[in-house]
Amino acid sequence: MPDLDAAGDFLYELMAPLEDMMLLEAALIQLFIIFVLARIFAEIFTRVGMLGQIGEILAGILLANLMIGDWTLASGLMIEFDPHEPSVYHEIFEVIANLGVIFLLFFVGLETKVSELRAVGKPSTAVATLGAILPFILGFMVIYVYEVHIVPHPDWFDHALFMSAAMVATCIGITARVLTELNVMDTIESKIIIGAAVVDDIIAMIILAVVVAVAGATAGAGGINIADLVLSVALAVGFVLFILFFCAYCLPLLRHNHRCRLAEKGVVCDEKEWSLKIDPFPLAIIVCLGLSAMALSLGLAAIIGAFLAGMLFAEYAQEELVPKIKALNGFLVPFFFVYVGMRVELDGFAPLIPLTIVVIFLAIAGKYIAGIIGVMGTDKSLGYHSGEIVGAGMSPRGEVGIIIAAIGLTAGAISREMYSIVVFMSIFTAMIAPSWLARSFKKKYTQDVTESAD
Amino acid sequence: MPDLDAAGDFLYELMAPLEDMMLLEAALIQLFIIFVLARIFAEIFTRVGMLGQIGEILAGILLANLMIGDWTLASGLMIEFDPHEPSVYHEIFEVIANLGVIFLLFFVGLETKVSELRAVGKPSTAVATLGAILPFILGFMVIYVYEVHIVPHPDWFDHALFMSAAMVATCIGITARVLTELNVMDTIESKIIIGAAVVDDIIAMIILAVVVAVAGATAGAGGINIADLVLSVALAVGFVLFILFFCAYCLPLLRHNHRCRLAEKGVVCDEKEWSLKIDPFPLAIIVCLGLSAMALSLGLAAIIGAFLAGMLFAEYAQEELVPKIKALNGFLVPFFFVYVGMRVELDGFAPLIPLTIVVIFLAIAGKYIAGIIGVMGTDKSLGYHSGEIVGAGMSPRGEVGIIIAAIGLTAGAISREMYSIVVFMSIFTAMIAPSWLARSFKKKYTQDVTESAD
């Protein structure tokens, strides 16, 4: 017969692994439920012709805001972040969601070739630059007016910074899909849009770097330390420019030398081919995780590192990496969009609806005006309708804007309300863009037909 | 000027997100270091012609056992599990490593087609069955002798159960690679090996299910409750058989009906084609996570669910899923093998070296005898050398054996020493097999040539 001490020891032995087992079991069940919900909503949204990601965000909003009795599903799953009782499951979920956004931005970078940047003409550059400046100014102004004059808030400056930064980045995914469906990919307007979107991504990353640096410096001791600020901004911009420079000059040079050495050995290889002996996929993961961690350590956002890591591979291993990173993202990214939705707070959002409408209007207006001025100002042969097409094509905001707002939220630089506004702005611009784009294409090209018929 | 309360609030606001930021930064740095180490070792091992996974396990052994001053690298990274001070980073790492092994076993299942099982001839079935029974009995005996007569241990029964279960499963990856390299894939011996490996995997899953059930039942209240035991075993075997039955009969029937309905609408599609409108990849992730969680809830190992989930997709979506699951595993699986290595304890292992050598010897002998009896007993036309080839081909143990031992370790059913023995057994059998296999192929086929020349 076992005595009581032994029974106690035995029970301890029994419970310790049980708790361990339960970690995995609970984590699996949570990840399963989140993934299933995300996919169901994504599937429904895709079938009615909208972006699957919007469905995933909505799944997250429901998880965290739909009350079942006194509980939301998120709190039942122990994934809702509660500062007083943080749960390990929330932290696991947060890390997986963040891995998702890191590889998502790696993917965006992977589709941004520095060599194509040079080929992008004047209109694209003008549209991208204006399309960054105008929404930034409009976003800053609206928060200034609202939080200084209407509902005063002491942190209006940080709010305005992140809000306006979140209004900059175009989500090219939606536009590219619509252009493909309309079969107009080889029109001049489509080329301007695609080119502008590439420049736009890089500008957004630089703006994000600066905004994080400024917010970090102002958060210091209640006042702005100019030296810190300058240092942070210089560091941020330096990091981005260094990688851009590396992509544009050092990488081709290294490749050229490597190819020359191979040629000496009698090995002939295509200029665009990945001729290193190392499998690019694990190397890409290493560079992506490494630059993301480095960006964080420098006080930048992790996604800036991930985006730049993607750019490093865009030129030489794009074809090999795209399907693999897509597969990885197929698993990780839905967790990120659910995480995005979970942080939206519907409770008490009603009074903010007018502000949200103004923000959405300005977000669209900024890109619209940038499109018209950018196109008509640089290419006299293109008319107002071409400008409208480009403006419509640049208007949807997507993951990058939301990510910028999420970084602001995590850093405490914007409130949950401001964050929710950005999420809704992204959702609505993404929903409006496809039909607007299709209509403006029709206007232009039926008119062209009429004109040439005259 | 802010008062003290406001300053306190401000500080709280400032610290809360800081801690949050640090979670991500620390997690990224840890994952980065683990992944880099794993890949460096994998790369070195692959270049000298060994399995990359062995390198990854070795990286884990070094992480947890190499002391730098008073610290190991694993404890510095906060990923070493310390029951008195569990760290969230260990738990994140553990969940990611376990996701890795789940998708790894999904992949193994994905390559196991039920339809091919029926085509496997008598020799394969005989080799697989004997190759499961013999190592199991030998493993059980050696632990019985060691822990009852030489170094008595009260838990010898559980130890013996898991040790012998871990000695069952063949790692077909190594053998398949060697067979391809030797260019002997279409010999009768190769076909027997491949067929036997498929049956072997399924037998290993059933043995694992039974072992976990038995260990769970005996762990109950210090004694064995026969009713509980029978129920657990029945549940475990029933779960596995149900999925096998579903794969073999229900799935083809469902597919047939679906194809008929499509045919009525005038859509013709290939029998093996994935004709559902849903993308199989997210569906595969859902089924994999779902069945893994369900297996855990039934008291089985998560990998049994994952393996069976893979089998569900093997027949109809294998081609589409293989590259995607491979990419996902390219990121997740190295974490699992490092995790495997990290739990090996070198400290105080020296006295166990004789036992380890005996275990390795018996692990090889079991498969060797099974190969010779299985082949010569079922096919009179095949001689001793064919039996030796099959025995050599079945001898490497790999991930499945280690996983079984890891489950035993997590459940407290085997000690860390026994676990380390299994890891070394897997490493050594995997290292010996390739040259043994090549030599025995040479023996057989040069002899055949001599004989036909006579």
Q: Which two tokens stand for residue B59?
A: 């990286």
The owner of tokens 């004047």 is A122
Residue A339 near residue A60 (C-beta atoms within 8 A): yes
Mean pLDDT of all residues belonging to chain A: 81
Nearest CA in chain B to A324: B327
pLDDT band at A114 (very low <50, low <70, confident <90, very high): confident
B37 within some domain: no
Distance CA A392, CA A250 (A): 37
What is the model's pLDDT at position A96?
A: 94
Best of A3, A22, A32, A53 to substitute, by most chain B Cβ atoms within 10 angstroms, is: A32
Alpha-carbon distances of B8 from A218, B3, B13, rounded to whole Å: 17, 9, 9
State which residues form the domain around B145. Answer: 116-448
pLDDT at B347 over 70: yes
B-chain CB neighbours of A102 within 8 Å are 28
A83 to B16: CB separation less than 8 angstroms, yes or no? yes
A258: in domain: yes
Confidence of residue B206 (pLDDT cuts 50, 70, 90): confident
B40, pLDDT greater than 90: yes
Which residues in chain A have their CB less than 8 angstroms from residue B293's CB?
25, 28-29, 32
Give the whole-angstrom CA distance, residue B356 versus residue A331. Answer: 40
Q: Are A159 and A147 in contact (CB under 8 A)?
A: yes
C-beta atoms surrounding A5 within 10 Å: 8
Residue owning tokens 């009581």: A4
Residue B403 lies in a domain: yes
Look at residue A280 and tell me whether its pLDDT is greater than 80. yes
Cα B45 from Cα B308, distance rounded (Å): 31
- Mean residue pLDDT of chain B comes to 81
Q: What is the mean pLDDT of residues B164-186?
A: 80
Most confident range (mean pLDDT) of A86-90, A104-108, B182-186, B261-265 is A104-108
* pLDDT on residue B327: 95
Q: Residue B85 has what DSSP assignment?
A: S
pLDDT higher at B229 or A128: A128
Q: What confidence score (pLDDT) does residue A18 get?
A: 36
Whether residue A147 has pLDDT greater than 70 = yes
Asked if the structure places residue B245 within a domain, the reply is yes
Share of chain A above pLDDT 70, in %: 85
Summarize the confidence of residues A59-74 as an average pLDDT. 79
The residue among A237 and B134 whose pLDDT is bigger is: B134
Contact A420, A64 (CB under 8 A): no
pLDDT tens digits for range A306-318: 888 998 898 888 8
With bands split at pLDDT 50, 70 and 90, how would you rate the model's confidence at B118?
A: low
- Residue B26: strand, helix, or coil: helix
Does residue A1 carry a pLDDT above 50? Answer: no
* pLDDT tens per residue, range A226-274: 776 777 778 777 887 888 788 777 777 777 777 777 777 776 666 666 6
Is the CB of A330 less than 8 angstroms away from the CB of B281?
yes
CB of B235 less than 8 A from some CB of A: no
- Largest distance between two CA atoms of chain B: 105
Confidence of residue B404 (pLDDT cuts 50, 70, 90): confident
> Token pair of A125, please?
């550059």
Nearest Cα of chain A lies from the Cα of B27 at a distance, in angstroms, of: 7
Whether A344 and chain B come into contact, CB under 8 Å, resolves to no
Q: Are B203 and B132 in contact (CB under 8 A)?
A: yes
pLDDT at B174 over 50: yes
Q: Which of A23, A39, A96 sits opposite B94 (nearest CB)?
A: A23
CATH code of the domain in which B211 resides: 1.20.1530.20
In a domain, A8, yes or no: no
Place of tokens 């949807």: A396
Residue range B327-351: average pLDDT?
89
Gap between the Cα atoms of A33 and A38, Å rounded: 8
Q: Is A14 inside a domain boundary?
A: no
Nearest-10 Cα torsion for B114, B115, B119, B122: 20
Cβ separation of B24 and A282 shorter than 8 Å? Answer: no
Confidence of residue B119 (pLDDT cuts 50, 70, 90): low
Examine residue A24 and state whether it is found in any structural domain, yes or no. no
* pLDDT over threshold 80, residue B220: no
Residue B120 pLDDT > 80: no
Mean pLDDT confidence for A208-217: 76
Q: Is A51 exposed, middle or buried (0-12, 13-18, 19+ CB in 10 A)?
A: buried
Judged against a pLDDT cut of 90, whether residue B85 lies above it is answered with no
Residue of chain A whose Cα is closest to the Cα of B42: A282
The answer to whether residue B86 scores a pLDDT higher than 80 is no
pLDDT of A56 > 80? The answer is yes
- Beta-carbon-side half-sphere exposure of residue B99 (alpha carbons within 13 Å): 27
Which among B289, B297, B324 has CB closest to A31?
Answer: B289
Q: Residue B294: is its pLDDT beyond 80?
A: yes
DSSP at B100: H
HEC string of chain A equals CCCHHHHHHHHHHHHHHHHHHHHHHHHHHHHHHHHHHHHHHHHHHHHCCCCHHHHHHHHHHHHHHCEECCEEHHHHCCCCCCCCCCCHHHHHHHHHHHHHHHHHHHHHHHCCCHHHHHHCCHHHHHHHHHHHHHHHHHHHHHHHHHHHHHCCCCCHHHHHHHHHHHCCCECHHHHHHHHHHHCCCCCHHHHHHHHHHHHHHHHHHHHHHHHHHHHHHHHCCCCCCHHHHHHHHHHHHHHHHHHHHHHHHHHHHHHHHHHHHHHHCCCCCCCCCCCCCCCHHHHHHHHHHHHHHHHHHCCCCHHHHHHHHHHHHHCCCHHHHHHHHHHHHHHHHHHHHHHHHHCCCCCCCHHHHHHHHHHHHHHHHHHHHHHHHHHHHHCCCCCHHHHHHHHHHHCCECHHHHHHHHHHHHCCCCCHHHHHHHHHHHHHHHHHHHHHHHHHHHHHHHHHHHHHHC
On the question of pLDDT at B17 being above 50, the answer is: no
Which pLDDT score, from 0 to 100, does residue B59 have?
93
Among A3-17, B30-44, B420-434, the minimum mean pLDDT is found in: A3-17
User: Quick check: ipTM above 0.90?
Assistant: no
User: Per the structure, how many domains does chain B have?
Assistant: 1
Q: Which pLDDT score is estimated for A83? A: 63
Q: What is the mean pLDDT of residues B428-439?
A: 86
Contact B331/A285, CB-based, under 8 Å? yes
CA-to-CA distance for B51 and B373, rounded, in angstroms?
Answer: 29
* Chain B residues 295-324 within an 8 A CB cutoff of chain A: 296-297, 302, 323-324
> How many contacts (CB atoms, under 8 Å) link A and B?
150
Is A86 a residue whose pLDDT tops 80?
no
Amino acid at position A176, single letter: A
Q: For residue B292, is it left (φ>0), alpha (ψ between -120 and 50) or beta? A: alpha
Nearest chain A CA: its distance from B102 CA (Å): 10
Task: Count Cβ atoms below 10 Å from residue A236 Cβ, excluding itself.
Answer: 27
Nearest to A212 by CA among A291, A295, A134: A295
Count of alpha carbons within 13 angstroms of residue B245, beta-carbon side: 6
Check CB contact of B223 with chain A, cutoff 8 Å.
no
DSSP character string of B109-156: HHT--HHHHHHS-HHHHHHHHHHHHHHHHHHHHHHHIIIIIIS--TTH
pLDDT band per the 50, 70, 90 thresholds, residue B19: very low
Q: Is the pLDDT of residue A13 over 60?
A: no
Inter-chain touch B28–A293, beta carbons under 8 Å = yes
Please state, in angstroms and rounded to a whole number, the distance separating the CA atoms of residues A304 and B428.
44
User: Token pair of B39, please?
Assistant: 């890949």
Domain assignment of residue A13, yes or no: no
Nearest partner of A162 among A401, A405, A429, A411, judged by Cα: A405
From B279's Cα to the closest Cα of chain A, the distance in A is 9
Nearest to A358 by CA among A148, A139, A150, A117: A139
User: Which of B245, B167, B155 lies closest to B207, judged by CA?
Assistant: B167
Report how far residue B276's alpha carbon sits from residue B257's, in angstroms, rounded to the nearest whole number: 12
